[in-house]
Every structure is written in C-alpha cells, then in structure tokens.
C-alpha cells in the first residue's frame, strides 16, 4: 500500500531487462495497461463476480475480519483491468454521441477529446467500455469493445472516435453460442467520461446453427 508504483513485466523475454531499465531510468515513458484485476487482499478476488448482482457478495465466506474492512473493500480492487501509469498525465473530456438511440441497421459515432496535460511526451491507450444495463442473461459490468494507442506531445489534444454497431458491439452469445441482441439501455465509458444510449432496433438472434463468440449476428427477426 505504501509503494508509489509497481512495475509488472509479465514474461518480457530476452530483451526484458533492457526494456525495464529504460522505463525505470525514464528513457522510455511507459504506456502499458494491466490485463487483469488485482485484489486488495487475499480472498477478495472471489467475492466479486463482475456481474450486475449485489448478491455476488457473501461476506461470511471470507473469514473473520472481512466484515470490518469497510464498504469500500466490497467491490473495489487494488488495481482494475486497464489501469496503467505514465510519466505524464492525460485528461479526457467532451464525450459525445451522434445519437441517443441506435436502430437495427444504424450506427452511433462516439467522440472524445484526450489531452496530454503533463510536461513529457507519452502514449495513451484509450479504452472504450460498454455496459449492458439490463439483459435477459446477466452480463459483465463492462466489456472492452474498442481501443487504440496514440502518442501525444506535451499539451497536445486529439479527438478519438469509436463507431458502435448493434451486431458486433451489443450482441452476446447465449449458452448454445447463438448471438442475442436485446432492446435496452447501454452505457459507454472511456476514461472518466460516460454516456448512455438505447438500442431500439428489432430483437435479433441467429436462426441457423450456432456461432462461436465474437461472430456478428447473421439474421434478424422480431
């Protein structure tokens, strides 16, 4: 808890030592993002399922003392998926959507402004997450749907975009691998910004065979 930073290298290979030395010395500005979630204490990893369900918390399962840790520990990890430090700082603002309602064959274009507010050049990985607020099958709290890494000079501002499409971005596979697409509200998050929109197109699912997760909806029926 007292460390100002932790450098996680994973499996960097034969050139890992050189890469780590360049980051620690400041020659290279780090821009990596954590590919997993790290708990605050042993046992916390299994108490939160990343589902929209408060019943995922069972305090009695984690031993004496857990109940006294306070409410902030119930669903707050030490570091979240997608976190990462840099020798500079970035600010997000003005997230906008071209529409608040998405139809079956339409798209919504999202834009956000990102600025390097620090004194050094650096790269920023811009991560776009979508949340399905209510679904017939409980969905994860957020899913990474789009990302890109851009290099910014000090003081530079850029506008980045993400085009949301119903099939690839809003549908999900059921237990048999068939893609499902449901009417309802979604929340888009990028940085500290968020916007809400609704999918109001026809309900959709695959009608022939099964699909592996990640395939686009092939046919639509009300």
DSSP annotation of 208 reads S
Contact 135, 172 (CB under 8 A): yes
Q: Which of 63-67, 115-119, 141-145, 215-219 shows the highest mean pLDDT?
A: 115-119
Determine, yes or no, domain membership for 182: yes
Residue 160: its pLDDT value, please?
98
We report the CATH number of the domain holding residue 107 as: 2.60.40.10
Residue 92: its pLDDT value, please?
98
Calculate the CA 67 to chain-centre distance: 29
Determine, yes or no, domain membership for 54: no
Q: Output the CA torsion 166→108→192→88 (10° steps).
A: 110
Q: Higher model confidence: residue 8 or residue 59?
A: 8
- Reported as a single tens digit per residue, the pLDDT across 31-90 is 999 998 888 777 665 544 555 544 444 444 444 444 444 444 455 778 888 999 999 999
The torsion region of residue 63 among left (phi > 0), alpha (psi -120 to 50) and beta comes to left
Contact 19, 28 (CB under 8 A): yes
Calculate mean pLDDT across residues 144-159: 97
Q: How confident is the model at residue 127 (pLDDT cuts 50, 70, 90)?
A: very high
CA-to-CA distance for 20 and 25, rounded, in angstroms?
A: 8
Determine, yes or no, domain membership for 164: yes
Determine, yes or no, domain membership for 186: yes
Determine, yes or no, domain membership for 48: no
> Which are the contacts of 42, defined by CB distance < 8 A and separation ≥ 6?
none
- Asked if residue 222 has pLDDT above 60, the reply is no
CA-to-CA distance for 169 and 214, rounded, in angstroms?
A: 9
Residue 205: its pLDDT value, please?
60
Q: What are phi and psi of 122, to 5 degrees?
A: -170, 165
Q: How confident is the model at residue 163 (pLDDT cuts 50, 70, 90)?
A: very high
The residues that bridge with 172 in the sheet, in sequence order, are 180
| pLDDT mean across residues, the chain | 81
Total number of domains constituting the chain: 1
Residue 175: its pLDDT value, please?
83
Q: How confident is the model at residue 215 (pLDDT cuts 50, 70, 90)?
A: very low
Q: Higher model confidence: residue 124 or residue 222?
A: 124
Residue 178: its pLDDT value, please?
86
Calculate mean pLDDT across residues 106-129: 97
Q: Higher model confidence: residue 201 or residue 103?
A: 103
Residue 141: its pLDDT value, please?
85
The total of other beta-carbon atoms located within 10 Å of residue 124's CB is 24
Closest CA to 189 of 117, 101, 130: 130
Determine, yes or no, domain membership for 61: no
Range of the domain at 169: 90-205
pTM exceeds 0.85, yes or no: no
Determine, yes or no, domain membership for 217: no
pLDDT exceeding 70 applies to what percent of the chain? 76
Residue 136: its pLDDT value, please?
83
């Amino acid at each position: 808890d007292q460390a100002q930073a932790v450098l996680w290298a994973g499996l960097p290979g034969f050139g890992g030592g050189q890469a780590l030395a360049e980051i620690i010395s400041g020659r290279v500005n780090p821009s990596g993002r954590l590919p997993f979630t790290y708990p605050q204490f042993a046992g916390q990893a299994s108490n939160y399922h990343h589902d929209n369900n408060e019943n995922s918390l069972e305090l009695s399962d984690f031993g004496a003392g857990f109940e006294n840790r306070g409410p902030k520990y119930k669903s707050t990890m030490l570091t979240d998926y997608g976190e990462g430090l840099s020798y500079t700082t970035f600010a997000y603002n003005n997230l906008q959507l071209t529409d608040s309602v998405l139809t079956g064959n339409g798209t919504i274009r999202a834009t956000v402004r990102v600025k390097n507010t620090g004194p050094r050049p650096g790269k920023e990985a811009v991560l776009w997450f979508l949340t399905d607020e209510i679904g017939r099958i409980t969905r994860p709290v957020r899913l990474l749907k789009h990302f890109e890494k851009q290099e910014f000079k000090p003081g530079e501002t850029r506008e980045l975009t993400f085009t949301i499409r119903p099939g690839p971005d809003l549908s999900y596979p059921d237990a048999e691998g068939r893609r499902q697409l449901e009417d309802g509200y979604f929340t888009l998050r990028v940085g500290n910004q968020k916007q809400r929109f609704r999918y109001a197109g026809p309900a959709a699912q695959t009608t022939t065979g099964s699909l592996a997760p990640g395939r686009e909806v092939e046919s639509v029926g009300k």
